[in-house]
Amino acid sequence: MTINLLHKAPAASDTERPVPRWALRAAYALPWLVLPSCLWRLPFAFNFPMGQVHDTDMPALWIIRLPYIFGLSVLSELAALLCIGLVRRWGEVVPNWIPFLGGRRVRPMAAIIPAVAGGAILSVLPVQTVLQWVGTVDQVAYENVWWEILAAACISPLNLWGPIVLALAYAYDRRRRHT
């Protein structure tokens, strides 16, 4: 008997019109792309600098910092999981278990506008990375190169989040509004 710990993307689409395979894979990859940065962020909540060198100490108000960092990580992961709705049936029809709205069709623009707005905002992240590479914006200093490599490995996948959300919104728009 095997235990399946990870949810696999469905082989067949449960939507009215078929979802492109690339969009299905991209939507299911998004939470995994965001997870490393969420995990990277958590030690900062406990005043562990993750190898970063600062001129001043981190603020000692852990009561404020802890909920902020945990909340940011949870909200980031939830936003990435919500993008799966752009390729699944619950992105077209509100699930029945939701009071007052269950069973109603989702208007395409109710999903497209937030997806495009979020994707556009998240697409600014790669610009910041490029500006750091060029030297226009100061980079964070690290104690050694290993901390810097770990930071880059955890944070760099976020650069794909915005463009992927925009591509998913485009595919959702084509599937829902155009024949």
Q: Please tell me what DSSP assigns to residue 16.
A: S
Q: What residues in the chain have per-residue pLDDT under 70? A: 1-13, 55-63, 178-179
Q: Which residues pair with 105 in a beta bridge?
A: 93
DSSP 3-state of 54: coil
> Within a 10 A sphere around the Cβ of 126, how many other Cβ atoms?
16
The pLDDT of residue 58 is 59
DSSP 3-state of 1: coil
The pLDDT of residue 29 is 95
The pLDDT of residue 34 is 95
- Cβ atoms of residues 44 and 65 within 8 Å: yes
The pLDDT of residue 102 is 81
What is the rounded distance in angstroms from the CA atom of residue 15 to the CA atom of residue 82? 16
Q: C-alpha distances in angstroms, 75 versus 12, 46, 113, 161?
A: 29, 19, 19, 14
Nearest partner of 52 among 125, 126, 154, judged by Cα: 154
Nearest partner of 168 among 12, 35, 19, judged by Cα: 19
The pLDDT of residue 4 is 59
The pLDDT of residue 46 is 81
- pTM of the full predicted structure? 0.82
- Cβ atoms of residues 82 and 30 within 8 Å: no
Q: Which two tokens stand for residue 138?
A: 């100061």
Q: Which residues pair with 53 in a beta bridge?
A: 141
